[in-house]
DNA sequence: ACATTAATTGTGT
DNA sequence: ACACAATTAATGT
């Protein structure tokens, strides 16, 4: 598919034509395969990604390499974190991994800056991105703070199904446990419960979500 | 086809 | 949380 079509097909179509042209002119298209690490903690960003297709999961990691899943990025999204990092020349606080095969277009920071002044729609796009991210982050915090592990897990699973559009999740219990920052045994037990309730079907290395 | 091994998953305490 | 059992997949012979 043409980049042009991908742009007009998504949230980016609210951006004026001139701007879309410049995005195509100055942006660099990159492709990632599922599970590729796109940005790691400590990386310095010199450009901001716009997500054309696919999806990305954003993880936080503490000092002792414990992981925690934060949220997903889908096509039409940009990474508020990298906007933030770029603007203050900070290194990345998060790790971004391709959830599935993903295409994105990298915008050099200089252009991001320049466009904020030149294109009102870009300016509101950037602000809206921060707003969306803040909302989703709140949802994540709610889920961690107020939901019991079983509902958290179910939310995690259906979230994954929604963004990938695929009801099979190819992850071991251990991998899920890492992302939710809990132990494998807990995940195994809860998954077993969910299977008994008919919400999922368990297989080795993968599971199938029936209800979400 | 069978045995061995390693990794994943299940369960009781 | 820990320990161990059971199951499954992969590999070699």
- DSSP string across A34-100: TT-EEE-TTPBPSEEEEEEESEEEEEEE-TT--EEEEEEEETT-B-HHHHHHHHHTPBPSEEEEESS
Chain A residues 179-198, Cβ below 7 A from strand B: 184-185, 188-189, 191-192
Cα gap A11→A76, rounded to integer Å: 5
Q: Is the CB of A185 under 7 A from strand C?
A: yes
Interatomic CA–C1' length for residue A196 and nucleotide B10, angstroms: 14
Q: Is the CB of A202 under 7 A from strand C?
A: no
- The rounded Cα A16 to chain-centroid distance in angstroms is 25
Residues in chain A with pLDDT values less than 50? none
pLDDT attached to residue A63: 75
pLDDT attached to residue A176: 95
Backbone angles phi, psi at A7, to 5 degrees: -70, -45
pLDDT attached to residue A119: 97
Closest alpha carbon to C1' of B11, residue: A189
pLDDT attached to residue A50: 97
């Amino acid at each position: 598919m043409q980049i042009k079509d991908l742009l007009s097909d998504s949230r980016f179509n609210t951006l004026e034509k001139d701007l879309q042209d410049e995005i195509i002119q100055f942006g660099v298209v990159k492709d990632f395969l599922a599970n590729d690490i796109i940005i790691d903690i400590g990386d310095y960003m010199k450009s901001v990604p716009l997500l054309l297709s696919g999806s990305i999961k954003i993880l936080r990691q503490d000092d002792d390499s414990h992981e925690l899943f934060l949220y997903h990025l889908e096509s039409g999204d940009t990474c508020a974190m990298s906007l933030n990092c770029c603007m203050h020349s900070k290194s990345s606080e998060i790790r971004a991994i391709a959830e599935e095969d993903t295409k994105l277009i990298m915008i050099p920071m200089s252009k991001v800056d320049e466009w904020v002044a030149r294109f009102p729609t870009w300016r509101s796009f950037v602000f809206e991105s921060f707003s969306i991210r803040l909302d989703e982050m709140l949802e994540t915090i709610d889920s961690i703070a107020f939901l019991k592990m079983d509902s958290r897990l179910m939310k995690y699973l259906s979230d994954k199904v929604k963004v990938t559009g695929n009801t099979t999740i190819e992850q071991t219990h251990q991998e899920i446990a890492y992302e939710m920052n809990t132990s494998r045994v807990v995940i195994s037990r809860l998954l077993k419960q969910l299977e008994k309730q008919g919400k999922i079907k368990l297989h080795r290395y993968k599971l199938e979500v029936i209800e979400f």
